Amino acid sequence: MTNAKIQRKDVPSDKEIDSMTSKADEIKNDFFRLRAKATVALLETGKRRSELASLEKNDITTDTKYLYVRFTVVKKRKKNISTLQRTKKFDKDSRFAKMIIEYLDFLNKHFPNCKYIYPSGKSVFGLTYSIDPNKHLKGQEIWRIIKALNPNDWPHLHRERRAVKVIRADEARFGEAKLETVYRVKNVLDLERENTAYNYIRRHETQKVEEQEEVLE
């Protein structure tokens, strides 16, 4: 897991996530503050930054128990491009769901004609945000939102974090990661190949071994 001039082997911890949301709360502009917190929450799904950037407001729905986020996954195979839709859900009473709902409510109130969750636009003297209702941010902007909250973090680490949560849950349940863990990781990250899911598990197990380095006497 590398980034420009930064190397780290661990995924963002719960403490880091708390710190990032606390830092977002310090942002004075309501739009930027709520957007930053919603971004941290949406990355808990393990989705890619480009998939977050293209979210539309009608992709987020709720019922009495859950908040649903429908992502469009683009698959490229040689010259062919296909799209699939995958839905992730949050407990509606969870803090992450509340962050997303608060931001969505703000968009609906102040930018009712806006199509996207991440509308493209520009800040006007840092006080207001002039948007283009028919365009969305690029994935790079999602990267910048996260880097502003934590210079040692970036969106793909949250994809790793989601995989690690699945692996640890199976380790707690079975005592170790099992074959079905591969398919569980594949499913939650919407991967095409089992080998890719296995690589997430391999990195996690390698890190565990390095943390348990043998002490020589």
pLDDT at 212: 62
Q: Mean pLDDT of all residues in the chain?
A: 89
Note the pLDDT tens digit of each residue in 67-91.
Answer: 999 998 876 666 677 778 999 999 9
| Of 45, 42, 9, the residue nearest 189 (C-alpha) | 45
Task: Tell which residue, 56, 55, 46, 54, has the closest CA to residue 11.
Answer: 46
Question: What three-state secondary structure class fits 117?
Answer: coil
Segment 94-98 mean pLDDT: 98
Mean pLDDT of 161-189: 94
Structure confidence by residue, pLDDT tens digits, 178-212: 999 999 999 999 998 999 999 999 988 887 766 66
Q: What is the DSSP string of 82-113?
A: EEEEEEEEEETTSHHHHHHHHHHHHHHHH-TT
